[in-house]
Amino acid sequence: MSSEVSKDFIIAESNQCVSCGLCLPHCPTYRLLKSEADSPRGRIALMSGVANERIPLNKKFIQHMDRCLTCRACEAVCPNHVAYGHLIDEARVLIADQSRSSTSSQNVNIKILLRMLLLTKSARMVQLRQLLSFLQKNGLLRWLLKFNLLEKNRLFKFIAQLPRVEFPYAATTDGNRMISNTWAKVYPAKGEKRGEVALFLGCVARITDVATLNASIYVLNRLGYTVHVPSNQTCCGALHQHSGGLEQAAALAKQNKAAFAALNVSAIISTASGCGVQLLESEVADGHSRITDISKFLIEAEGWESVKIAPLPQKILVHDPCSLRNVLHDQIYPYQLIARIPGAQAVPLAGNDQCCGAAGSYFMDQPEIASMLLDDKISALVAGDAKYLVTSNIGCSMHIANGLYEKKINIEVLHPVTLLARQMGLES
């Protein structure tokens, strides 16, 4: 039944495309490959052909769909407002339905296993955090990369190059911070209370981006906001959504909506723009709160007169994640947040209108194209001549940081709120 629903949507929505070609120069894969079939216009034509049963759903079709980064740059410039993001998701439903009736590839099996065993199970993420922290401290992960077989495994290589695993801060009443294995349910505001918000943790970020989550709580508390962190929240479902698992994504959205509905908060704050898009489009928030990116919330927040921010006379390069730029349209706020640091100069990274190649699990599924896109970012970073790069999406952050590490380039990659929290006194 899901395939028929997907076909009906594809037929109706693809008819909105007038093949004007204005999307072509904005598409990363078309820019690199110069192939019509790897452009938004070409992919829409292929989707329509499959949905109308004019062409087969074969390996070539799957290849062209898989090469799409879902950056949605085309959608942002489309004069006819074609819902390309929704189209590519529905096309992947057709692919997923077909793969379930045939022998799946090893890559697909690995991704399904990761989604089932880890991304939706917060308790397992806690255990994995402890294990990875132990392996990192003992240098075992980097040591294992010396073996050729493991060094060539993209998933293991990614795990071995993860940033330093950190742990959540426990809520305290005396101002001191203590390390914990899990987040507290409530982090009370410091000083005058100005409001209550909720923090979305995500899934991978619970291991790889704890620093940003801790920093967000720290800054929000000092501006006078109590932060709620419901323990029954789960993965946003973006990886499921973009792999054809719309039903699984909907189930995760339902669980998240129930987790946050019990709270009386004005906003549900996301620190990763990719998660923010998924939460917004799956309508996780109810009428009492809104989904908002951390940088946007902080710029609109009150209480800045009560905090001290140490100067940082440095040029800070700013990377615009595709989800923040093309879908949320909130790319201005990280620049404004950095501008609150005395002496800091926020400068756009050259080529911000092009994807970095991370795109969820894309860097593992399409490593050649992802590497070409990453090389462009690394070149721009070197030319930018700065010590810091800030970006608002954990996937982009890890992808770019790994590229810098492999080329032995010493540029720190971090979230803008993490840099701000440092200047406000948060010690790492």
Give all strands (DSSP E) within 212-339, no chain letters.
225-228, 267-270, 290-293, 315-319
At 106 the pLDDT is 46
Cβ contact 291:275 at 8 Å = no
pLDDT tens figures, 341-375:
999 999 999 999 999 999 988 888 898 999 999 99
Residues 6+ apart with CB under 8 A from 271: 199, 200, 202, 205, 209, 212, 213, 216, 293, 294, 392, 394, 415, 417
Question: Is 2-100's fold the same as 309-423's?
Answer: no
pLDDT tens figures, 103-155:
444 444 455 555 555 555 666 777 777 777 777 677 666 666 666 555 566 66
At 129 the pLDDT is 76
At 104 the pLDDT is 46
Tell me which of 2.60.40, 3.40.50, 3.30.70, 1.10.4160 is the CATH number of domain 309-423.
3.40.50
Residues 6+ apart with CB under 8 A from 230: 185, 198, 259, 260, 262, 263
At 1 the pLDDT is 47
CATH code, 2-100: 1.10.1060.10
Q: Can you list the residues of the chain whose pLDDT is less than 50?
A: 1, 103-109
Residue 335, Cα to own-chain centre: how many angstroms? 18
Domain ranges (residues) in the chain: 2-100, 309-423
At 115 the pLDDT is 53
Q: What is the pTM of this model?
A: 0.90
